[in-house]
Amino acid sequence: MSINAPAPAVCLEDVLITEELTRRHAPVPQPCVENTTLHALANAMVRTPESMLQTLADSALRLCNAEAAGISLLEGRAGLFRVAATAGACALPVGSTFPAEPSPCGTCLSKGSAQLFSDPARLFGWMHDFSPAVSESLVVPFRQGETAGTIWVSVHRRRTKFTAEDARILASLADFTAAVLEHDRTTTALANSDARLRFALDATHFGEWDLNVETGAVVISPQHARIFGYASPPPWSYEIFLSHVIPEDRHRLKRNFKHSLATGEDWEIEYRINGADGAVRWVWAIGYAYQRENGRPLRFAGLSMDITDRKRNEEELARAKGQAEAASRAKDEFLAVLSHELRTPLTPALITATLLESREDLPTDVREDLAEIRRNIGLEGRLIDDMLDLTRIVSGKLRLDFLLVDVHLLLRAAMDICHRGSEPRIKLELKATHHHVHGDGARLQQIFWNLCNNALKFTDCAGSVTVRTSDAPGESIRIEVIDTGVGIDARVLSRVFNAFEQEDMRTTRQFGGLGLGLAISQKLVDAHGGTITAASAGKGQGATFTVELPIVPAAAPAARAPGPSATSRADSSLKILLVEDHVPTLHALQKLIERMGHRVTGVSTVRAATEAAHRESFDLLISDLGLPDGSGLDLIRSVRDSFPGRSIALSGYGMEQDVRNSREAGFATHLTKPVDVDRLEEVIRETSRGL
């Protein structure tokens, strides 16, 4: 099959994005995976040399996490590339041809280095009919002797991006490919298959050995001798070989070899040697039987490879991983302590402002000032939560609890939060006919709250905010948050989902915030398999944020148990044991809970709380976690039989692990400071309903 190329419609610079390789975050190298691949290539070289190119294409596909891979060889006189091997969803079959100029392979070969292409069909018209279309292609050249060509990988999903690590892996495979192809080119000049195999082994630094089981004679290749520290092959035997193996590895190697000798099974092992030149080396070896008599092997052959550098890299990576994990733990501990220290003084301030605001004997302007204080304290708490959320997401520690949830119910709940303390300003247009998704309800509500809160923040009272749902193509629901506010400049639009992104310092000063809400929302939408986009006609033209989530069929709603009556014990006066070592917080909480109609005994230590719990009966326990003579976890473990399912942890520690620890210790609920007064009252009511 031959393909003719039409004239390009765009220039090379429009599709060539090689510089992006150095900008993208590259994953940590995985030497173990590469080692396994080298083993597989070595096996293929020994046993099935005719399939080497296919094995290399399969390896490129797997190691680079690509969707297509292949090897293309240049036929110089014809000015064409011929496809020699493919893997994955390739548009061109093996044996087909395409023009060297213009093509990604021709461009790469002429430049002599790895090249990254974005949507190459824009320039190379003959690729227009590829299905699926190529969104990104990484191409690496090779030349050896008269052999020239490329090895390449492609993806069709725009979310997948190649990195410098992929280019490094592909370059390594390209060297291997060049050696194999040059070897194949000279096959007719080689006398027999042994010489042909030796050529490939020398090119790839594998040592070869052959053992006659009957006579004990061993033949080794020059490369095998060099691995063991000899300039040329010396007289060799199994005993001489064992004398080089360090004692700690010798017994294991002998056991494996005896098992293979008895069963005829292949064997593979890594071991250390003391070389004749005094160097200690790591060696990888594989052996297999190739002559048998009555099932008993007569000959063994195999390959050896010096993997000292790889082992050293693995050890360095392990040390680096340990250091990184230690640093991550230290960072988590620091963030936990920092959040606790930031939250603790906010709690009494928030409660005091709330209590004062409810006094009817205060002038209206004073109550308005107190309401402003309360809202700003709540904002500080929200900023702390945003910083911790972003840290959890980046470190991969954010846990999501997926259930069947109703998007419309979550939107209404988010609206209630946005409108709390202010007049309703958001218009709801819930038009989607299918609005159930598989997701974490709390996190989805957080997304909707972020988007609606942003819309309100950047839209003055004369403007409007609309939240609209509709059915979207591809079994999805579309949620749009549309405002008529300040709008987004086109230069900033592509960066609005970056962490800490603000249009300029004036935006930060005027509207506040750290620029984390949209970054967190995007990560959460991604975790739910959805998409989020932003659109704006420019400054002063408002903005539209669109979320699309995959829907699922709605299950029949579960029958709800009737709620407690207005005269139930949950709404009556409770006897509460309150444990808090921060005196201002203790006094403020005690006053607040008493204003709710409950009787409160306040203490500041684990010992005092334990004595109180043993001395008299309480309906509910509310305890801080960080106490001077222990922790709230110690307390609940010692008294939880007195408070079965009726205990609330109230703490400035709000990391995922903190919440998990409090639940495992026995607390029914974990609230993070500064606590929302309405939320605290609701949790007290819910936690005590079993009385």
**% helix, strand, coil for the chain, step of 5:** 45, 25, 30
The 10s digit of each residue's pLDDT in 104-134 is 999 998 888 999 999 888 888 888 878 788 8
All CATH 3.30.565.10 domain ranges in the chain, comma separated = 399-550
* Inter-CA distances, 629 with 589, 607, 610, 633, 682, Å: 21, 7, 12, 12, 30
Q: Which of 54, 41, 106, 49 minimizes the C-alpha distance to 85?
A: 54
At 69 the pLDDT is 92
CA distance 268 to 290: 15
At 502 the pLDDT is 53
Average pLDDT over residues 595-619: 90
Taking a C-beta distance cutoff of 8 angstroms, is the pair 11, 123 a contact? yes
At 662 the pLDDT is 86
CA distance 81 to 83: 7
Q: Indicate the pLDDT class of residue 467, thresholds 50, 70 and 90.
A: very high
Pairing of strands 68-75, 80-88: antiparallel
All CATH 3.30.450.20 domain ranges in the chain, comma separated = 205-306
Strand positions, DSSP E, 379-510: 403-406, 426-430, 436-439, 465-472, 476-483
In which residue are the tokens 């989020």 written? 532
At 249 the pLDDT is 92
All CATH 3.30.450.40 domain ranges in the chain, comma separated = 12-189
Average pLDDT over residues 35-46: 67
3-state secondary structure 141-193: EEEECCEEEEEEEEECCCCCCCCHHHHHHHHHHHHHHHHHHHHHHCHHHCCCH
Q: Which of 150, 37, 306 minimizes the C-alpha distance to 45?
A: 37
**Alpha helices (runs of H) in 360-406, residue ranges in sequence order:** 364-394
What percentage of residues in the chain have a pLDDT greater than 90? Answer: 17
- Least confident residue range of 190-194, 491-495, 575-579: 190-194
* Token pair belonging to 234: 């010396």
Does residue 536 carry a pLDDT above 50? Answer: yes
Instruction: State which CATH number among 1.20.1260.10, 3.40.50.300, 3.30.450.20, 1.10.1370.30 fits the domain covering 205-306.
Output: 3.30.450.20
- The three-state secondary structure class of 384 is helix
* Token pair belonging to 670: 């974990």
Name the residue with higher pLDDT: 415 or 485. 485
Name the residue with higher pLDDT: 245 or 24. 245
The 10s digit of each residue's pLDDT in 210-263 is 888 878 888 888 888 889 999 888 888 888 899 999 999 999 988 888 888 777
CA distance 55 to 233: 31
Q: Indicate the pLDDT class of residue 563, thresholds 50, 70 and 90.
A: very low
Average pLDDT over residues 61-88: 87
Does residue 378 carry a pLDDT above 90? Answer: no
In which residue are the tokens 């609701």 written? 682
Instruction: State which CATH number among 3.40.50.150, 3.40.50.11890, 3.30.450.40, 3.40.1390.10 fits the domain covering 12-189.
Output: 3.30.450.40
At 556 the pLDDT is 43
- Least confident residue range of 272-286, 586-600, 602-616, 676-690: 676-690
CA distance 381 to 372: 14
Q: Which of 194, 181, 204 minimizes the C-alpha distance to 39?
A: 204
Taking a C-beta distance cutoff of 8 angstroms, is the pair 516, 404 a contact? no
The 10s digit of each residue's pLDDT in 576-590 is 999 988 888 888 888
DSSP secondary structure code for residue 125 in this structure:
G
Query: Which pairs from 431-435 meet CB under 8 Å and 24+ separation?
Result: 431/468, 431/469, 431/470, 432/407, 432/408, 432/469, 432/470, 432/471, 432/477, 432/478, 433/471, 434/471, 434/477, 434/551, 434/554, 435/406, 435/407, 435/408, 435/469, 435/477, 435/551, 435/554
Measured between its terminal Cα atoms, the distance across the chain in Å is 80
At 557 the pLDDT is 45
* Token pair belonging to 22: 């150095």
In which residue are the tokens 């909480």 written? 589
Name the residue with higher pLDDT: 335 or 618. 618
Taking a C-beta distance cutoff of 8 angstroms, is the pair 649, 641 a contact? no
Residue 51 host element (H or E): none
Q: Indicate the pLDDT class of residue 340, thresholds 50, 70 and 90.
A: low
Strand partners, 209: 220, 302
At 49 the pLDDT is 64
Domain topology for 569-687: Rossmann fold (3.40.50)
Does residue 29 carry a pLDDT above 50? Answer: yes
* Inter-CA distances, 277 with 224, 282, 283, Å: 14, 14, 15
Average pLDDT over residues 502-520: 55
List Cβ neighbours of 234 (8 Å cut-off, separation of 6 or more). 225, 240, 276
**Calculated CA dihedral for residues 322, 326, 329, 333, nearest 10 degrees:** 180
Q: Which of 161, 157, 302 minimizes the C-alpha distance to 238?
A: 302
* Inter-CA distances, 354 with 228, 348, 368, 377, Å: 79, 10, 11, 11
User: Does domain 399-550 fall into CATH 3.40.190.10?
Assistant: no
Q: Which of 389, 343, 347, 379 minimizes the C-alpha distance to 655?
A: 389
Taking a C-beta distance cutoff of 8 angstroms, is the pair 221, 301 a contact? no
Side-chain-side CA neighbours of residue 15 (13 Å): 25
Side-chain-side CA neighbours of residue 567 (13 Å): 0
Q: Indicate the pLDDT class of residue 186, thresholds 50, 70 and 90.
A: low
User: Average pLDDT over the chain, rounded to whole?
Assistant: 79
Name the residue with higher pLDDT: 415 or 48. 415
At 45 the pLDDT is 62
Name the residue with higher pLDDT: 384 or 162. 162
Does residue 70 carry a pLDDT above 70? Answer: yes
Strand partners, 288: 301
Taking a C-beta distance cutoff of 8 angstroms, is the pair 135, 144 a contact? no
All CATH 3.40.50.2300 domain ranges in the chain, comma separated = 569-687
CA distance 523 to 582: 36
Angle between helix axes 193-203 and 164-185 (nearest 10 degrees) is: 150
- The three-state secondary structure class of 16 is strand
Does residue 374 carry a pLDDT above 90? Answer: no
* Token pair belonging to 426: 């958001």
At 89 the pLDDT is 84
At 549 the pLDDT is 95
DSSP 203-230: HTT-EEEEEETTT-BEEE-HHHHHHTT-
- Least confident residue range of 51-60, 169-178, 245-254, 507-516: 507-516
Backbone angles phi, psi at 262, to 5 degrees: -75, -30
Q: Indicate the pLDDT class of residue 75, thresholds 50, 70 and 90.
A: confident
Taking a C-beta distance cutoff of 8 angstroms, is the pair 593, 576 a contact? yes
